[in-house]
Structure 1
Amino acid sequence: MREAVSVTGMVLLSAAFGEADRRVVLLTRERGKITAFAHGARRPGNPLMAVTRPFVFGTFTVFEGRSAYTLQSARPASYFDELSADMEGACYGAYFLEMASYLAQENMDGTELLTLVYQTLKALLKPAIPNRLIRRIFELKAMVINGEYTEKPEGRVSESCAYAWEFVVYSPLGSLYTFVLKPEAEAEFEREVENARRYFIRHVFRSLEILEMMTR
C-alpha cells in the first residue's frame, strides 16, 4: 500500500481534468515541482475545491504514483485572497507563478524558489513598494536562484541602480522587498533586469503578455 507523503508548497497551476477532477502543479519545498490529481475537486462541497486554486500555500498530503501524485488533503496556511480582488495584483501574481513553474524542477529542493514566490506575493499586498519594482526584484532573484545571472548590470548605470542590483543578488530572501528607488534609478533597474531576463530566460510567458497589456 502506498504511503502518504506530506509536502509544504504552493499551487502554481490548476486545470480541470475529466468530469470532476483537477490537475494541479505544486511547487514544494521537499520535492520541487510536482503534478498531482485531485479527484472530485470540482464537485460542490468537495473539501479539495478550495485548496486547489492558484496561490494557495500550505501543507499538502499526497500519494506518489508512477508519473504523478494524488492529492488526498491539504491544510492551507494562506489563500492570498486579497490578490483575487485586485486585478493588477492578480496579473502580477499569475506571472510570478508561471515563471516559477517554468524554472522549477522535479525532485529538487524547492525551498528557495518557494520562499521567493511566497515573499513576493506578500510584497504585492504592500502598497509601499511599486508593483513594477516588485516584478523586477522577483525576476532578478529568480535568475540568481536558477544560477543564470550577472553579478552586476551589463550596461552603464547609476550608483543607486548598481547598489540595488547587488542588494537583490546577495540579500536573504526575507529582506528583498525593503527598498524603493527614485524614478530614474528604477527605470535603469527595470531596463537592466529586462535585458538579463530576455538573455537568460528565453521563454514566452502568456501571463506576462497579459500583464504588459494591462500596465502599458
Structure 2
Amino acid sequence: MKAAVELTGIIIKSIPTGEYDRRITLITKERGKVSGFVRGARRQGSTLLGNTIPFVYGNFKFYETKDALNLYSADIHRYFEEIRSDIRRTCYGSYFLELADYYGREYIHERETLKLLYMSLIALTKESIPHKLTRRIFELRIMVINGEYDSMPGGLKCGGAKYAWQFIINTDISKLYTFNLSDEAFEQIEECIDNMIQRFIDRPMNSLEVLKTVCS
C-alpha cells in the first residue's frame, strides 16, 4: 500500500536511471538523507524535469512503499540558478553538496545541516563574502554539527582567528555569513581546517579536486 510522504529539503545528487527516470538524493529536515525515484523525469515536457536537479530547494511529495520512495510532486522554493550559471559558484556548491552527502544519515532530523547548506548556497550567490571564506565556514560548521572538530586549535595565533573560530562554532547559522577576515586570520583558520579534514574525513572529495583545479 502506498503512503504519501512530504519532505522539505535540497537535492544533493541526481543520477539518470533507465531510459527516462532519475534517482535523486536529498538532505531533508524530517528524515535526514533520503533517496527516491522519479519516474519519467527526463521525458520532454515532464513537470519534474527541472525540479529534480542538484541545488533545488523545496517541498517534495513521495509515495512510499516498502521498497522505495517515488516522487510525484515538487513545490520548489529556490532553484539557485545563480550557482548553476557560474562555473566557480558551481564548483564551490558541488563541494558543499558532496560534503553534506558524506555526513548525511538516514532517518534522523537534519534541520541544522539543511539550514547550513541552504544558507551557504545563499552566501555563494552574494559578493559580500569571498567564496573561499564561505567554503571554510561551511567546512568547520558541518564538522561541528557532526561532532568532529577542535574547539580551539593550537594553530590559531592571532586574536581575529580565535574569535572567528568561536563565532563559526557557536553562532546561529542564519548569522554565520556576516563577517570577513584579515589575510593572516584566514590563513590560520584555513590551515587548521585542512588539518581537521585530514584527520576526520576518511576519503577524498572528488568535487574538491575539481574546485582546486578551476579556482586555483
TM over 0.5: yes
Distance in 2 of aligned mates of 1:5 and 1:15: 21
**Matched residue, 2:98:** 98
Distance in 1 of aligned mates of 2:197 and 2:162: 17
**Matched residue, 2:195:** 195
Structure 1 residues 42-64: Cα deviation after superposition (integer angstroms, max 9, x where no partner): 00000111110000000000122
TM-aligned CA deviation for residue 154 of structure 1: 3.4
- TM-aligned CA distance change 1:67 to 1:147, over 3 Å: farther
- Would the aligned equivalents of 2:156 and 2:189 in 1 still touch at CA under 8 Å? no
* Structural mapping, 1:4-153, within 5 Å: 4-153=4-153
TM-aligned CA deviation for residue 67 of structure 1: 4.1
Distance in 2 of aligned mates of 1:28 and 1:101: 11
Distance in 1 of aligned mates of 2:195 and 2:17: 38
TM-aligned CA deviation for residue 155 of structure 1: 1.8
The gaps in structure 1 that reach 5 residues or longer are: none
- Would the aligned equivalents of 1:61 and 1:72 in 2 still touch at CA under 8 Å? yes
**Matched residue, 2:164:** 164
TM-aligned CA deviation for residue 156 of structure 1: 4.3
Distance in 1 of aligned mates of 2:58 and 2:82: 17
Stretch of structure 1 that moved more, 60-69 or 165-174: 60-69
Whichever residue aligns with residue 170 of structure 1, its letter is N
Number of residue pairs matched?
216
Whichever residue aligns with residue 183 of structure 1, its letter is D
Look up the SS of the partner of 1:147 in the other structure: coil
Name segments (4+ residues, structure 1) moved above 6 Å: none
Structure 1 residues 127-165: Cα deviation after superposition (integer angstroms, max 9, x where no partner): 010110100000000000011111112324211101110
TM norm structure 1: 0.97
- Would the aligned equivalents of 1:34 and 1:68 in 2 still touch at CA under 8 Å? no
> C-alpha root-mean-square deviation of aligned residues, in Å?
0.9
TM-aligned CA deviation for residue 121 of structure 1: 0.2
Look up the SS of the partner of 1:23 in the other structure: strand
- Would the aligned equivalents of 2:32 and 2:104 in 1 still touch at CA under 8 Å? yes
Distance in 1 of aligned mates of 2:201 and 2:171: 22
Whichever residue aligns with residue 99 of structure 1, its letter is L
- Would the aligned equivalents of 1:83 and 1:90 in 2 still touch at CA under 8 Å? yes
- Would the aligned equivalents of 2:144 and 2:169 in 1 still touch at CA under 8 Å? yes
TM norm structure 2: 0.97
Whichever residue aligns with residue 40 of structure 1, its letter is G
Distance in 2 of aligned mates of 1:154 and 1:70: 49
Structure 1 residues 106-133: Cα deviation after superposition (integer angstroms, max 9, x where no partner): 0010111000000000000110101101
- Would the aligned equivalents of 2:156 and 2:162 in 1 still touch at CA under 8 Å? no
The gaps in structure 2 that reach 5 residues or longer are: none
